Amino acid sequence: MGIGIDEEVRAQRYDIHDYIQEVLDKNDVDLDENPFEWFGLIRAAASQYVVKGDSTDIADYEYHYITAVRIADNISKSEDVYKEAATNMRDDLIENHDDISDEEIKAKAEDAGKFTIGNNLTLTYSMAYELLDDLMSEAIPLILPEETREKAGGTLKSQLEGYESKRQILSQCEVVSKETASTIQHIGDVRHDVVHEVDERFTLDTLDGDMDRIDEIPGAVNEVYELVYGEPAYQYVDE
């Protein structure tokens, strides 16, 4: 396991991972043949675990895992909704407006797609921000030599506050890769814009030219999650 939870502690309790594995075993879905159904089972099981269980007994590491699943699911759904809205707008313009250029059609179709997924992406970036903020705090002791982490790690964590400060030190100490550090910064920038500027939630101008960077989020979450917990967040899905 990683630094976030003692392996013996987790072994002593029935947790989210045990529940999901039971659901997967019970449904006997082949990952290679039905990857979407497979992930759908994981998504549903994660939600059921919270709803059916006692929320006061759910550990932080379980909430971290459930949040990671929701982030990946939101991104997948957003991409589908975006494509559908953009396609519908494009088809309508082509059919009913002969005076609009191909460039205008493309721009309006993209605007329609962004408008449709704006609120969902606001939630997705906010969840990713909060999750990575927590995970980066747990990963801070990794900048110390292994022999001093247990003794000094807690003190160091308490002295480092702020999402960007954590990102910078983990990047400078090469605890996280340059690519992940860049994505973490991107998440912080976009989250700031969509949270503090209402119109950004509908126009997504902050993502202009960078819409594809949404797909980087699960990879960044996965890397920091594995640093903390010693296993990938998306362990049941063949990426």
Condensed to tens digits (0 to 9), the pLDDT of residues 70-104 reads 999 999 889 889 899 999 999 998 888 888 898 89
Asked if residue 184 belongs to a domain, the reply is yes
pLDDT at residue 205, as a whole number: 86
Residue range 25-31: mean pLDDT, rounded: 81
CA pair distance 145, 162, nearest whole angstrom: 23
Asked if residue 237 belongs to a domain, the reply is no
150: Cβ contacts below 8 Å, ≥ 6 apart: none
pTM of the predicted model as reported, rounded to 2 decimal places: 0.84
Q: Read off the pLDDT of residues 192-230 as tens digits, 9 standing for 90 and up.
A: 999 888 888 888 888 876 788 999 999 999 999 999 999
CA pair distance 129, 216, nearest whole angstrom: 13
Asked if residue 234 belongs to a domain, the reply is no
Residue 140: both structure tokens together: 């801070």
Domain span including residue 115: 7-229
pLDDT at residue 9, as a whole number: 65
Give the model's confidence band at 238: pLDDT under 50 very low, under 70 low, under 90 confident, else very high.
very low
Domain count, the chain: 1
Asked if residue 178 belongs to a domain, the reply is yes
Asked if residue 239 belongs to a domain, the reply is no
Asked if residue 235 belongs to a domain, the reply is no
Axis-axis angle for helices 217-229, 60-96 (nearest 10): 170
Asked if residue 76 belongs to a domain, the reply is yes
